[in-house]
């Protein structure tokens, strides 16, 4: 079957570093997305990994290990505005009908 797991909630302190993990099982794999979603708003794109390794983009980095079915999102120098849900999503499928499968999201609370 197809499944995505990520922690339900995490708490971190302003200025610190936090790592949000995601494991996935899909029939076929064509990449992994991370989205940020503030309460009451739409998800917005953060990163996309297709190959193994770390992709860095400012304060946010995303890592992928295809052999382990594992990804993480690393947030550095946390700010209060980073309080949001973070959605892990894998592109599965074997043909043109590839679909994106979303995890349930990790709600991140930032404490001052």
Partner 1 sequence: NAGVTQTPKFRVLKTGQSMTLLCAQDMNHEYMYWYRQDPGMGLRLIHYSVGEGTTAKGEVPDGYNVSRLKKQNFLLGLESAAPSQTSVYFCASSYEVAGVVDTQYFGPGTRLTVL
Residue numbers of the site for partner 1 (CB under 8 A)? 30-31, 33, 35, 41-45, 48, 87, 89, 91, 95-105
Q: Count of alpha carbons within 13 Å of 31, Cβ hemisphere only?
A: 10
Least distance to partner 1, CB of residue 87, Å? 7
Least distance to partner 1, CB of residue 72, Å? 18
Any idea which residue has 């995890």 for tokens?
A: 103
**How far apart (Å, rounded) are the C-alpha atoms in residues 86 and 80?**
15
Residue with Cβ nearer partner 1 (16 or 50)? 50
Least distance to partner 1, CB of residue 54, Å? 19
Residue 73's closest CA among 40, 39, 108, 38?
108
């Amino acid at each position: 079957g197809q499944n995505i797991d990520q922690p339900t909630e995490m708490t971190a302190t302003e200025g610190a570093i936090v790592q949000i993990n995601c494991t996935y099982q899909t029939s076929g794999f064509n990449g992994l997305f991370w989205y940020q979603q503030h309460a009451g708003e739409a998800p917005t794109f953060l990163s996309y990994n297709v190959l193994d390794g770390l992709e860095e983009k400012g304060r946010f980095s995303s890592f992928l290990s295809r052999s382990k079915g594992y990804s993480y999102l690393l947030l550095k120098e946390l700010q209060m505005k980073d309080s949001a849900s973070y959605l892990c999503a894998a592109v599965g499928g074997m043909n043109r009908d590839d679909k994106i499968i979303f995890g349930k999201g990790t709600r991140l609370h930032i404490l001052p």
